[in-house]
Structure 1
């Protein structure tokens, strides 16, 4: 049975919401891998608002929130459950969906976990983009391809700020796999003439970040401290500096990259550096708490190898794409804190109501 069809009487992988056409009158067929993640949600939202037809590969069926909220939103969205390391599955999807653009967002994206699951990290982060590039070359070389890279490729002690000319020096299996995918994109662009581009993405966050990411851990722990469910927050290196931006802004850069006449690679960053300690201080200060009374340093959370200062120079993106971030560091942290407090309070009320019944 074709992957994009639904068996009679089944609520299988196809979920269509009715087509609409963007202001320009042209609907583009787009395939997004990793659509169930934070970036997949914001990118889908951006593309649906433009009137494009979106096919998305995700790991879970049914989809989790908030992806499910896009299904009745008035756009054309079809979800497929599958494994991006299954080359035959990817080939069938590309053949049947016939996308004009592919955004590869699928990744094992936890840097710390990549040391414990190096093989799986390479399968998802390096082999999957290789499969997609080969499938594009074989089936339709006109398909445009976007690869989500990471600032972690710059490594432990890069010069700051980093731009597209900064040498790579990855220090984790995650970063090494991302660097491999980056060079694969460059190779296929040169050797096969594909429209293939990389975005070297710096830390980009949103209320959708879960607690496996530092930003999500901080704001959700803070919310639980406020309601008395938690007393302390264990963290590692507070001195590590990162360039934090809003995921909703960063997906706009992705769309702009795919609309260019020629493919290229771009650093996507805010250009502002803040330490982990500053993130914590801003979050707790906004909630009127003294972070020093709640944060404890856990040596088990310290990495032997870590990129300490990641600060991006997005000058190329500003000049060529006309892109710049809209949401600043303070506003981003406060947005995440407000959302986390709302979620924890709602969960607390729901749990209390369940106990009463």
Structure 2
């Protein structure tokens, strides 16, 4: 295996695809993780509990959803870890705290949207940090699931930028991203986070969910409607200006809801189609039965859709009779 950044021997083990500090509000602290991988296509939810999590009662060793062996070389791993630590210290641990407000410039545009700029952290490191996560996430998904979420050429541009930043001419490497425009949003008001996910259906922009940040990545020409919405928040690494991070809850929730809706619709659609293949009933008949069962479950049960599907699958799977 070759390192996905520098193409040397990928000899690092336990590499975080998404930094632990970035996703701990969604899955818990290192070794105490509780994460759920939703496979909307195959209608499955896979649970992972860290070794120190009290729910980890099975002797079976499961793969951490956000760690991977032999995807990076140790040198790239160490370089990434250093910048991840700096971002955590200078941004994640401070941007919500009133006592650190002097570390940031916060402005409010005419629509009441708050935009934050770090004062004590190099803008270029923010770009590197975020693009490195996008790239690792896409490459890992592509290798394991065949879904890269981005065009091959776009991923190669990011790789060349990352490689140049670490081992070449930092300024020259930025030219590879001249057509990339990034909208960065965090939720300053709470730490609930979103997902760790993307989908091939998101094209321009590509949308990435990394628990804390939601990233919208536009390639080349930004549609007029999008420019009208995001004009104040667009970040381009080749433009000499402060980085802008949207921190409004309303803005953040609007994009979190896009993935919530996508996952729910995809999961339920595939579940109903599977049931129709099993029992020969129409899609509408199975959907009615599914919705009827939904009413019998606690509305706050986050796994009720999966539970209902499994219940109905067992009911109609003749191989279990």
Same fold (TM over 0.5): no
